[in-house]
């Protein structure tokens, strides 16, 4: 029998701390040798001229299955992930019905085993009455953590009562990730949305204070409970400044959308297709996010891939839904910023692989022997343009259409299986994540 299932030869192995040309051998889903390998394998990939990275992880996607599969499903979403160089996705619970029980998490896991082109994990959603289910989910293979919506967004999940949050934070051991917008403030100001004459009202209604108010509240809860909370898709300068004084109580995610786009320009350009929660904000806030990233405050990049159909987006504000796709473009857009001199490849690896693996206790995020055999291959020299027609997502559009990119993911290796190579996606046995492995 061959010594390896897969050998990737002559690639530039790159992590957040090292770079060298070497081979990688994978057997039974694990990296088993790194160096100069002269042995037989079921498959050999020549990676000469390519950078070989620890498999990238997108820690925030909405793949809409079950219940909203006209927008996306686990096959199309994971296909988009594979094309973007993403080896593992963690998917959110605001499907229909919401994923608020062990049974519903398991249903998603079973579907993904049949459909997914990548590794996968699923969040259970928090509600006022499902603490028992959350605690049972902690031992479920494939459940990555708990997601709480502190402010209303897509779907009907919502939890912002402080006493219930504190009880959950004290009892739940797995990662807790939150969508942080103040529901009381959103309700107080909802007339701004209901009486809107343009989509620009969206970032006025869901203003910076609504985000800061909520984030201060949840940090206070985390402090009292003596644990950390993961703040998803941070959007404001004020939050970044506040959290810089409270990093022992939190980890921080930002998205490429909030690092790349800003109001009012993007709303003038693409209208409701720029609408998401929390909103794309003004240049002051975008600059604040970059300053936080450069200061080492940001832990994770997530796409918040949240597709809606073109027909839905064209309904006009406030009838149009919030959210935009991103799993296929998260890595390419960050490569664009790398070429603009804003971020290094090593930092991208840290934010899209190394730290996500640590945050969710996964045996991923590096190229060491014994680590899961997940690799992302990238050609840093290839120039191309992001196009709507190339998106695998069912929604068929991207806010980054027309953006010229240098550097392209050309291979996605998942537990030693070739999921994507040179733009072609293959059927593989996608596997649930194992926390603590």
Residue 273 belongs to a domain: yes
Supply the range of the domain harboring residue 270.
55-359
> How many Å apart are CA 115 and CA 126, to the nearest integer?
26
State yes or no: pLDDT of 153 exceeds 80: no
- 183 and 43, same structural domain? no
Residue 179 belongs to a domain: yes
Q: What pLDDT score does 155 carry?
A: 61
> pTM score, two decimals?
0.98
Express each pLDDT in 349-394 by its tens digit.
999 999 999 999 999 999 999 999 999 999 999 999 999 999 999 9
232 burial via Cβ count (<10 Å: 0-12, 13-18, 19+): buried
- 171 and 45, same structural domain? no
Q: Which of 359, 380, 413 finishes a domain?
A: 359
Mean pLDDT calculated for residue range 24-30: 98
Q: What pLDDT score does 434 carry?
A: 96
Residue 154 belongs to a domain: yes
- 70 and 201, same structural domain? yes
Among 325, 345, 298, CA closest to 392: 325
Q: Which of 328, 359, 390 finishes a domain?
A: 359
Q: Give how far Cα 82 sits from Cα of 19, 35, 317, 348, 422, Å.
A: 24, 26, 33, 17, 11
Among 324, 307, 437, 298, CA closest to 371: 437
Q: What pLDDT score does 152 carry?
A: 79
Mean pLDDT calculated for residue range 321-347: 98
Q: Give how far Cα 49 sits from Cα of 39, 241, 364, 367, 421, Å.
A: 21, 41, 24, 18, 15
Which residue has better confidence, 72 or 2? Answer: 72
For the ranges 80-94, 142-156, 174-188, 362-376, the lowest mean pLDDT is seen at 142-156
Q: Locate tokens 């050609």: which residue?
A: 379
Express each pLDDT in 421-431 by its tens digit.
999 999 999 99
Residue 202 belongs to a domain: yes
Q: How many domains are there within the chain? A: 2
> How many Å apart are CA 61 and CA 53, to the nearest integer?
21
Query: How many other C-beta atoms are found inside a 10 Å radius of the C-beta of residue 162?
Result: 12
Q: What pLDDT score does 436 carry?
A: 86
Q: How confident is the model at residue 2 (pLDDT cuts 50, 70, 90)?
A: confident
Pairing of strands 4-14, 41-46: parallel
Among 112, 53, 144, 55, CA closest to 436: 144
What tokens were used for 72? 């996306």
Helix residue ranges, H only, 153-282: 162-171, 183-188, 190-194, 201-205, 208-225, 237-244, 256-260, 265-270
Q: How confident is the model at residue 247 (pLDDT cuts 50, 70, 90)?
A: very high
Q: What pLDDT score does 160 carry?
A: 94
- 322 and 306, same structural domain? yes
48 burial via Cβ count (<10 Å: 0-12, 13-18, 19+): exposed
What tokens were used for 204? 């006025």
**66 touches 115 (CB < 8 A):** no
* 114-137 CB burial, b ≥16 within 10 A, e <16: ebbbbbbbbbbbbbeebbebbbbb
User: For 119, what's the count of Cα atoms within 13 Å in the CB-facing half-sphere?
Assistant: 32
For the ranges 79-93, 104-118, 146-160, 231-245, the lowest mean pLDDT is seen at 146-160
Q: What is the CATH number of the domain that holds 401?
A: 2.30.40.10
Its sign, for the CA torsion 331, 337, 339, 343, is: negative
- 108 and 89, same structural domain? yes
- 149 and 229, same structural domain? yes
Q: What is the CATH number of the domain that holds 348?
A: 3.20.20.140
Q: Which of 359, 376, 400 finishes a domain?
A: 359
State yes or no: pLDDT of 255 exceeds 80: yes
Residue 409 belongs to a domain: yes
- 293 and 374, same structural domain? no
Q: How confident is the model at residue 437 (pLDDT cuts 50, 70, 90)?
A: low
- 206 and 345, same structural domain? yes
**390 touches 397 (CB < 8 A):** no
State yes or no: pLDDT of 83 exceeds 70: yes
> How many Å apart are CA 17 and CA 20, to the nearest integer?
11
- 241 and 128, same structural domain? yes
Largest CA distance in the chain: 69
Residue 394 belongs to a domain: yes
What tokens were used for 282? 């003004």
Mean pLDDT calculated for residue range 238-251: 98
Q: What pLDDT score does 154 carry?
A: 65
> How many Å apart are CA 83 and CA 79, to the nearest integer?
6
Residue 432 belongs to a domain: no
- Give kind and range of the element (H or E) at residue 225: helix 208-225
Q: What pLDDT score does 216 carry?
A: 98
Q: For the chain, what is the mean pLDDT?
A: 97
Percent of the chain topping pLDDT 90: 97
- 159 and 135, same structural domain? yes
State yes or no: pLDDT of 99 exceeds 90: yes
Classify 271 in phi/psi space as left (phi over 0), alpha (psi -120 to 50) or beta: left
Residue 23 belongs to a domain: yes
Q: Locate tokens 């479920």: which residue?
A: 140
310 burial via Cβ count (<10 Å: 0-12, 13-18, 19+): exposed
Q: What pLDDT score does 157 carry?
A: 86
- 376 and 239, same structural domain? no
**Paired residues of 33 in beta bridges:** 25
- 335 and 375, same structural domain? no
């Amino acid at each position: 029998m061959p010594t390896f299932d897969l050998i990737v030869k002559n690639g530039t192995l790159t992590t957040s701390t090292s770079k060298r040309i070497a081979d990688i051998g994978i057997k039974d889903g694990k990296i088993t040798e790194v160096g100069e390998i002269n042995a037989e394998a079921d498959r050999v990939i020549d990676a000469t001229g390519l950078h070989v990275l620890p498999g990238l992880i997108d820690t925030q996607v909405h793949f809409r299955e079950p219940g909203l599969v006209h927008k996306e499903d686990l096959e199309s979403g994971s296909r988009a992930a594979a094309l973007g160089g993403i080896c593992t996705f963690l998917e959110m619970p605001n499907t229909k019905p919401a994923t608020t029980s062990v049974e519903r998490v398991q249903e998603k896991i079973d579907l993904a085993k049949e459909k997914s082109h990548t590794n996968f994990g699923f969040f259970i959603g928090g509600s006022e009455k499902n603490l028992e289910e959350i605690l049972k989910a902690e031992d479920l293979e494939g459940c990555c953590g708990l997601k709480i919506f502190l402010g209303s967004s897509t779907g009907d999940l919502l939890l912002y009562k402080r006493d219930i949050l504190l009880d959950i934070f004290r009892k739940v051991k797995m990662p807790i990730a939150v969508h942080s917008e103040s529901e009381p403030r959103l309700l107080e100001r909802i007339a701004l949305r209901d009486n809107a004459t343009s989509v620009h009202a969206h970032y006025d209604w869901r203003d910076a204070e609504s985000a800061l108010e909520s984030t201060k509240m949840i940090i206070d809860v985390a402090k009292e409970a003596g644990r950390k909370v993961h703040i998803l898709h941070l959007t404001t300068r004020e939050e970044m400044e506040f959290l810089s004084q409270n990093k022992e109580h939190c980890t921080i995610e930002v998205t490429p959308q909030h690092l790349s786009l800003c109001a009012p320009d993007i709303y003038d350009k693409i209208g409701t297709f720029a609408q998401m929660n929390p909103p794309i904000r003004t240049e002051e806030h975008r600059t604040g996010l970059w300053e936080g990233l450069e200061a080492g405050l940001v832990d994770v990049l997530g796409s918040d891939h949240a597709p809606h159909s073109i027909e839905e987006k064209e309904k006009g504000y406030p009838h149009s839904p919030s959210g935009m796709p991103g799993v296929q473009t998260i890595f390419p857009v960050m490569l664009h910023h790398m070429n603009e001199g804003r971020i290094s490849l090593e930092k991208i690896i840290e934010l899209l692989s190394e730290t996500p693996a640590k945050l969710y206790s996964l045996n991923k995020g590096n190229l060491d022997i014994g680590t899961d055999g997940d690799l992302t291959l990238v050609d840093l020299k290839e120039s191309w343009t992001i196009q709507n027609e190339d998106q695998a997502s069912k929604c068929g559009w991207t806010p980054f259409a027309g953006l010229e990119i240098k550097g392209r993911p050309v291979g996605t290796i998942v537990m030693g299986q070739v999921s994507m190579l040179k733009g072609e996606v293959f059927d593989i046995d996608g596997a649930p994540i194992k926390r603590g492995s």
